[in-house]
A and B are shown apart, each in its own frame.
Chain A
């Protein structure tokens, strides 16, 4: 049981790391296209078609691709003055429960973003200038949220196991 858990944790780690790299690529990409668009427009009267919507898409994707890593590193912003007053064991139990809440909320987000993607696919929704279909992006985002959810579940396990092992 614990071996299966460790193996899947390894796979998850790999995915999260790859996602971080993809997020970084998107960031660099939007920086580059905005600059080239500005240069092209001013120097050659030739703007880069679709810069506006690619910037929007790139920023959205970089956010969702980075979410899981952000969560694993504990970078999501919280307020934690109350928790300091509890014992270590109690803290771990609460932290474990928090992770479960996170996983549930993110699960529903993933599910309904996926459903929204199906709707967009049926309606042939596209972006403005490049007419890229919108639904693949929603499916990708739903996937990144599933990874986010698993990250939270792994964290929950870790906290609760520590809490149980403590005397």
Chain B
């Protein structure tokens, strides 16, 4: 991929960075900052052009595009390509992190501790992984404080695991694309949704929701990867520079940005009169009884593939500090 002018020391590379976020999203800004930091650190040898809004690859084709060299860098959500990231998906399980920073750091650490993660990223060099701020339950007409409240409510679910435990709790999980969520909430096609605060602001959901129930039910995880050949075509010095500028450092930074944006979303929602209820430890323990079977299923399914599901899950819980 990309154009490289000469093969001498001062080799120049023009590389494409592809992602699905709207060009107006704060992640585009982060990518621009990363691009200019990298250009400066390599004395202008590496120039990155960002292509937001899925202009080069559909959201679910981003990883494929990077792995095959169709683009040089790609960013997307692991969950868009189910089955391809069995171990990474541990962070999508409930109660894994209270903030994006913690989730991001822990995910990156897991990735480095377990060699088995490498298969999931074949053909690429993972630069950093991160999570959004955790997913909460947002409802329109009815505040959810207990399992009883949730019974019979139609809730938009972000993943099959979430659907599973929502059903166990007596709710009706509904799958639909995020871009239909607003109208579905407004008209009452669904009574609520599970999403991060970040998405509430990004998709303007605070115009229609009135209640938030905080329980850290889910995390959306995302990757930034580079095509392996594109990476190998760089000089060793430039490779080292890229790795210095990414990894835990960027996982941390991206996490911070999502947390900050999430906090702004909370403030904005409060101003719009959204009532926020935080589930207590005791209440969460009660919810867990219904949610735990889903976690056990996840472990079982991953182990069946010959991967260390139990070990990775235990370590993830340990890192989460619970």
Partners in one complex: yes
Q: How many A-B residue pairs have CB under 8 A?
A: 48
Complex alpha-carbon distance, A116 and B154, angstroms: 36
Kindly identify, within residues 32 to 56 of chain A, every residue whose CB is under 8 Å from any CB belonging to chain B. 41, 45-47, 49-53
- Please judge, given known A-B contacts A41-B172, A47-B173, A128-B159, whether A119 and B83 are in contact too, CB under 8 Å: no
Q: Which of A50, A52, A124, A133 contacts B176 (CB 8 A)?
A: A52
Task: Find A52's partner among B79, B159, B175 (CB 8 Å cutoff).
Answer: B175
Q: How many angstroms between the C-alpha atoms of A47 and B157 in the bound complex? A: 13
Query: How distant is the Cα of A116 from the Cα of B174 in the complex, in angstroms?
Result: 30
Q: How far is the CB of B243 from chain A (nearest CB, A)?
A: 24
- Contacting residues of chain B (76-92) with chain A, CB-CB under 8 angstroms: 79, 81-84, 86
User: With A41-B174, A52-B175, A116-B64 as given contacts, are A124 and B159 in contact (CB-CB < 8 Å)?
Assistant: no
Q: Which residues of A contact B67 (CB under 8 A)?
A: 119
Contact check, B172 vs A124: say whether CB atoms are below 8 A apart.
no
Q: CB distance B160 to A128 under 8 Å? A: yes
B23 within 8 A of A: no
Chain B residues within an 8 Å CB radius of A21: none
Q: Is the CB of A125 within 8 A of B160?
A: no
- Size band of the interface chain B makes with A: 20 to 34
B-chain residues with CB within 8 Å of residue A45 when the two chains form the complex:
152, 154, 172
Q: Given the complex, which residues of A lie within 8 Å of B305, measured CB to CB?
A: 124
| CB-based contact B163/A129 at 8 Å | yes
B68 interface residue (CB < 8 Å to A): yes
A46 to B152, CA, bound (A): 10
Please determine whether B84 and A124 come into contact, CB atoms closer than 8 angstroms: yes
Chain B: minimal CB distance from A125 (Å): 5
Q: Report chain A residues within 8 Å CB of B64.
A: 116, 119
A residues apposed to B, CB below 8 Å: 41, 45-47, 49-53, 116, 119, 123-129, 131, 133
Instruction: Give 9 closest A-B pairs by Cβ, nearest first.
Output: A126-B83, A52-B175, A45-B172, A123-B84, A124-B83, A126-B82, A128-B82, A125-B84, A129-B160
Given A49-B163, A123-B84, 11 more pairs with CB closer than 8 A? A41-B174, A45-B154, A52-B177, A123-B83, A123-B122, A124-B84, A128-B159, A128-B175, A129-B163, A131-B160, A133-B83
Some 6 contacts from A to B, beta carbons below 8 A apart, are: A45-B172, A46-B172, A52-B175, A52-B177, A125-B83, A126-B82
Q: Which residues of B contact A (CB under 8 A)?
A: 64, 67-68, 79, 81-84, 86, 122, 152, 154, 159-160, 163, 172-177, 305
